[in-house]
Amino acid sequence: MLENIRLSFQGIWSHKMRSFLTMLGIIIGIASIISIVSTIKGTNEQIKQNLIGSGNNTVDVTLNQGDYPYEMGYNDIPAGVPVITPEVKEEILNLDEVEKASLYQSRTYADGIYYQNNGLEGGKVLGIDKDYLDTCGYQIIQGRGFTEKDYRQFGKVVLLDEDSKNSLFQDEQPLGKTVEIQGEPFTVVGVVKKTNAFEPVINSMEDYYNYNQESSGVVMMPDAAWPVVYRYDEPQNVIVKAPDTETMSSAGRKTADLLNGYLFDSTGEIKYKAADLLEKAKNLQEVSANTNRQLLWIASISLLVGGIGVMNIMLVSVTERTSEIGLKKAIGARKNKILAQFLTEAAVLTSIGGLLGILAGVVLAQAISKMSQTPVAISPPAIVGSVIFSMVIGIVFGLLPSVKAANLNPIDALRRE
């Protein structure tokens, strides 16, 4: 085998230009596949992060009427939906897929939030429990968080995120200032931000609209103070944190199932549902993958062309070395030895082309990323698979010339000039 490999390199080196041109189809095919697979993988990660965020792994479990969220701001408190008790929250925390959990009340696109003449348009108001900041990955960057006293004495205090702070206070220092929520005064005691800052890649007006709505600002108050502004006994939403991205769907689904077990709504229209962003990401990834699979098939055509080139050059090599083959067979070389020699040469030729194709593919993927601002993620399995595939191409397309060489009659071969 080693002798065959040595002879293969010797033959390739003796016809450098011809060998390179033969490998060119393999190089282009492998480079195309590597760059496409890397782009697909990078795009899929971008889709997942755009929907889920980076390092968060939290799932909202909210009350829905049919397929739509139940808006407390526009509807009465639904019958048959109890307030979530500390005991039920403990049951949620005992689920295997749930690492942390928090209860909160919310008003989306809330109005009536002012500081002097500045209003917060399109923001959120949340009534949060003691675990919300930790569960959602918030950190205090100014002032303080909520204390036991704030919860025990129904403290009229709020936390702002950076967007709501900038909207309401602009360049002013917010700590200690008073904001009005539905006419009720609340003192700003702190400013928070996400521990893992994440900016989604915005590729369309829909992305811009969705992200703009989410980033209009959040104002948080202790859930104990929620009835001061809104209503008593409003059912809460739940946000749960999973240990990793892959268990998010299961954590959200099991939490929703547990909460729905406590409902006694006779119509069955109102239920808790988890925002299954991971499933949505998978659906979008599947659409992307279906498109890119077509590109992979097109790129594979160049590998077929490269394989035909290998077959052609090996047939030429057999013709050129007819006398050598005849001499080897005359001194006792068996068919399988001749066959192995030419198969090895074809495999070595395509393997070198595969390695060069991998290098070209990585460079091409990075170039595409720079030019189109599309993320790429180099796939090690794709690289290993490309090398193996290129060797298989060499063996498959080198088989016919090798069989031809092995079946040559030694007398006819020695006679041929």
Q: What is the pLDDT of residues 4-29, one digit of tens each?
A: 677 666 766 777 787 787 778 788 88
Residue 396 to residue 23: CA distance in whole angstroms: 15
pLDDT (0 to 100) of residue 210: 44
Residues 228 and 326 in one domain: no
Cα distance between residue 6 and residue 58, in whole Å: 58
pLDDT-derived band at 50, boundaries 50, 70, 90: low
Residue 141: band (very low, low, confident or very high) from pLDDT cuts 50, 70, 90: very high
Are 210 and 248 members of one domain? yes
According to the model, what pLDDT value does residue 329 have?
A: 67
Asked if residue 215 has pLDDT above 60, the reply is no
- Which of 253, 275, 297 is the C-terminal boundary of a domain? 275
The answer to whether residues 133 and 51 touch, using CB atoms and an 8 Å cutoff, is: no
**Domain total for the chain?**
2
Q: State the residue range of the domain holding 246.
A: 56-275
Residue showing tokens 């998010």? 248
| 33 lies in the same domain as 72 | no
The pLDDT tens digits for 130-139 are 999 999 889 9
Which range is least confidently modeled, 46-55, 218-227, 246-255, 382-391?
A: 46-55
- In this predicted structure, the answer to whether residue 208 has a pLDDT above a threshold of 50 is no
Domain boundary pick from 275, 307, 326: 275
pLDDT at 386 over 90: no
What pTM did the predictor assign?
0.59
Does 136 lie in the same domain as 15? no
> Are 16 and 70 in a shared domain?
no
Which of 214, 225, 237, 216 is CA-nearest to residue 72? Answer: 237
- Averaged confidence pLDDT in the chain: 79
Same domain, 103 and 143: yes
> Is there a single domain that holds both residue 128 and residue 170?
yes
Three-class SS state of 328: helix
My answer on whether 64 and 196 are in the same domain is: yes
**Is pLDDT above 50 for 314?**
yes
Residue 228 sits in the same domain as residue 327? no
Same domain (yes/no): 123, 187: yes
Torsion sign, CA atoms 27, 30, 32, 34: negative
Distance CA 231, CA 73 (A): 10
- Looking at the fold, whether 32 and 142 belong to one and the same domain comes out as no
Residues 248 and 339 in one domain: no
Alpha-helical (H) ranges within 199-334 are 205-214, 226-229, 248-260, 277-320, 322-330
Residue ending a domain, among 247, 275, 303, is 275
Mean pLDDT of 149-168: 93
